[in-house]
Amino acid sequence: MTVLLIALALVALGIVLRLPGRVMAIMLATLWAGALLAHLTLPEGHALLRALGGDARAWGVLGIVVALVLAYRAGLGRLKARAAVPEAAPAGGLSEAELDRYARHIVLREVGGMGQRRLKEAKVLVVGAGGLGSPALLYLAAAGVGTIGVIDDDTVSNSNLQRQVIHTDARIGMPKVFSAEVAMRALNPHIAVRPYNRRLTGAEAEALFADYDLILDGSDNFDTRYMVNAAAVAAKKPLISAAITQWEGQISLYDPARDAPCYACIFPERPADGLAPSCAVAGVMGALPGVVGAMMAVEAIKEITGAGEGLRGRMLIYDALYGESRLIGLKRSPSCPVCGG
């Protein structure tokens, strides 16, 4: 009776404090273990043993019965999970859940059902899961891009969280690609995510790009940008590349396979040291990569669905400090060593 009253008190306390069921189960298991331990350690005839029933076998049987019940429930849950048939989408189409999820896309005449199916069938690779990659990845996942690859060798740090919104404080120290995968899968279970936890190298870039329809470059250094551009040109894949610093960002779609310039046509040489410092040196306004990264996702959706006019052969420059945008026409360079003019 004493133990029963204590157990009831613990359950009542858990309900009042709204404790998780697992915590309440641990409290009751601790109470059971204490009662059993008392029977095994205290001398016969002890007053506490009389209050606990005086027989360790009863407590042992109780523990076995509860363990069997829990094991049965766990096994039954696994069988139900295996027997559950996931909702199937029509061949080449969208499931009822997806139709409801993407309804605001489908009612857009520039996207429609056909455009949404193209998004589902598309494969997009994002280079970098940092400031630009974060919003781009989230919006690509939300839009229903069927396969999203992300490559990055960095881990989440405290200083990233001012602007890299795909990551959280709880995931500090986790590789960025896995942190991004957690966020994207939580946002949309209907997509496939391919995380590549490594630094992209020139040796593998072209082969990796060949498996995707579109490349997004959100890297933060010129070495990677030039390498990504060369691999995209070799693989004949369109490349959406963006860059940010302080209060300003730029974005364009490079695609020499369709007579647009490549990145090297516009930037044949890297800037001199100090002229284009990194965000770590020059700083960056936290919301700026959100704006430009969302633009990358917009251009990717337009490129996949064929909606509107993209930034192929044009560069958009956004000045957040003064609220201005400028659009610049771009042309291929006849002497470009990468795309051959």
Average pLDDT in the 49-55 region? 62
Q: Closest by alpha carbon to 151, among 128, 134, 184, 178?
A: 128
- Convert the pLDDT of each residue in 193-246 to its tens digit: 999 999 999 999 999 999 999 999 999 899 999 999 999 999 999 999 999 999
Q: What is the pLDDT of residue 102?
A: 96
The CA distance from 229 to 235, in Å, is 10
Selected from 3.30.530.20, 2.40.70.10, 3.40.50.720, 2.40.128.120, the CATH number assigned to the domain covering 98-329 reads 3.40.50.720
> What pLDDT does residue 91 have?
43
Query: Would the pLDDT of 303 be above 90?
Result: yes
Backbone angles phi, psi at 240, to 5 degrees: -100, 115
What is the model's pLDDT at position 276? 67
Instruction: Tell me how far apart the alpha carbons of residues 253 and 241 are, in angstroms, rounded to a whole number.
Output: 6
Would you mind telling me the total number of residues written for the chain in this entry?
341
In which element (H, E) is residue 76 found?
Answer: helix 56-83
pLDDT tens digits for 84-130?
444 444 545 899 999 999 999 999 999 999 999 999 999 999 999 99
Q: Are strands 248-254 and 239-245 parallel, antiparallel or unpaired?
A: antiparallel
The number of helices, as runs of H, and strands, as runs of E, in the chain is 14, 8
Orientation angle between helical segments 288-305 and 133-143, nearest 10 degrees: 40
pLDDT value for 49: 56
Is the pLDDT score of 311 beyond 60? yes
Task: Judge whether residue 178 has pLDDT over 70.
Answer: yes
**Cα(257)–Cα(235) distance, integer angstroms:** 9
Mean pLDDT of the chain: 87
Q: What is the pLDDT of residue 161?
A: 95
- Alpha carbons 339 and 227: distance in angstroms, whole number: 13
Q: Which two tokens stand for residue 286?
A: 């936290």
Domain positions in the chain: 2-83, 98-329
pLDDT at 69: 76
- Report which DSSP code applies to 325: E
**What are the backbone angles phi and psi of residue 126, rounded to the nearest 5°?**
-110, 125
Query: What is the spatial distance between Cα 50 and Cα 39, in angstroms, rounded to a whole number?
Result: 10
pLDDT tens digits, one per residue of 5-50: 666 666 666 666 666 666 667 777 776 677 667 666 767 666 665 6
- Residue range 161-189: mean pLDDT, rounded: 97
Percent of the chain with pLDDT over 90: 67
